[in-house]
Amino acid sequence: MIQIPENIAELKSYKPGKPLDQIIKELQLKEVAVLWNNENNFGPSPKAMNYVTTSLSNSHYYPDPVCTELRNLLATKWKRKFEEVAVGNGSESIFNNLFNAFFENSDELLTCSGTFVAVYIWAKANNVKVQTVPLAEGFGFDLDALYNAINDKTKAIYLSNPNNPTGSMISEKDLVEFIRKVPNDILIIVDEAYYEFAHDLSSDFPNSASYDYENVLTLRTFSKAYGIAAIRIGYAIGHEKLIEAIMKVKLTFEPSNLAQAAGIGALSDTEYLKNTIENNSTEIKKYYQTFEDLNLNYTPSFGNFIMLDLKNEETVHFYFEELMKLGVFVRPLKAFGLPHCLRITVGIPRENEMCINALKEITNKK
């Protein structure tokens, strides 16, 4: 019998629930609002899809392993050098590659509890210990606690900004002050998956991709604002020595020709991006007003989602089940370490109206 390493044996396999189509059929739903994965429900960027269609005819060739065109476009967009950009199968894939590129022996990752759940999973899969401190009041990253928790084993600090699933953000001033305090031999990973939304929602939201610090690595994705989550394309921006290390450990032909094409097309689709961002900034206010009218506790968000604090797991389960019966699919946050909370994605206007009406019906019934 092959011995499975302890860190892998202890991991819990992903156990998906029933397929969406099956739930819709069982509940006989005529209309649904899928608001549980922070996707862009306008559908994929049309220009991204055009590029994908064009590139299909070249699928018998291996893709460009260096991702030359896409990395050049990203470098130009963010005013960085080509050598300061890496591309991968989503920012999550790049994050996983970081463990191979930078961690060794007893190195530890430092972050807060109650952040992006994949962080803990990939650390465990790579046999890296994660040290955590609690989130601050308001469900934001506690930068002071993180700084005080640094020890001689700390190799990297992970910051999700805005934080998924809570929606809270780290301001420009606070982020820069934190970076300047942290020893420069500790990697600071700033995950800005929701950058496009946050930048529009707050003038004080930082753009860490513009920073000139040798130990700061910014993660971004095309899965959210650009609407191509299924194609799997993300990128990292940082000092060229950091990027060189990431490029050494990535899969040779990652990402695929279709993913590279989708990213190239998406970057050119400025009208699609503008409409997506405007929709989020407008529709999120409707949720805020609804929550206040219904006396539901929420955390102001700088992403395309909002977190409700319903105080206990039983109430979360009640809302989750009742919303599903009405065709609205949202995300309980037990897996994120927040069992008393529920996350709702900001969808297109029809879906948001459907969700708001369902929340009113359920809350009044409760």
- pLDDT tens column, 126-140: 999 999 999 999 999
Provide the 3-class DSSP secondary structure of residue 2. coil
Read off the pTM: 0.95
The answer to whether position 121 is within a domain reads yes
Interstrand relation of 297-299 and 234-238 (parallel, antiparallel or unpaired): unpaired
What's the domain count of the chain? 2
**Between 120 and 15, residue with greater pLDDT:** 120
In this prediction, residues 165-191 reach a mean pLDDT of 98
Q: Judge whether 160 and 146 are in contact, CB under 8 Å.
A: no
Q: What would the pLDDT profile of 233-280 be if each residue is shown by its tens digit?
A: 999 999 999 999 999 999 999 999 999 999 999 999 999 999 999 999
Question: Is residue 217, in this structure, part of any structural domain at all?
Answer: yes
- Sheet harboring 331-332: ordered strands across? 297-299, 305-309, 341-345, 331-332
Same domain, 172 and 232: yes
Q: Based on the domain organization, do 99 and 147 belong to the same domain?
A: yes
Sheet holding 85-88, edge to edge: 85-88, 234-238, 216-221, 187-191, 154-160, 108-112, 129-133
Kindly state whether residues 158 and 195 are assigned to the same domain: yes
Instruction: Residue 208: give the domain boundaries.
Output: 46-269
CATH code of the domain containing 321:
3.90.1150.10
Task: Flag whether 147 is in a domain.
Answer: yes
Residues 93, 172: one domain?
yes
Mean pLDDT of 63-91: 97
Give me the mean pLDDT over the 211-239 stretch: 97
Q: Coil, helix or strand for 271?
A: helix
Say whether both 118 and 52 belong to one domain: yes
Residue 1 lies inside a defined structural domain of this protein = no
**What CATH number does residue 95 fall under?**
3.40.640.10
**339 shares a domain with 241:** no
Helix or strand (DSSP H, E) at 129: strand 129-133
Q: Tell me, yes or no, whether 106 and 119 share the same domain.
A: yes
**What CA–CA distance (Å, rounded) separates 297 from 34?**
22
* 115 lies in the same domain as 167: yes
**Which residue bears the tokens 């899928």?**
34
What's the confidence (pLDDT) of residue 19? 84
In a domain, 76, yes or no: yes
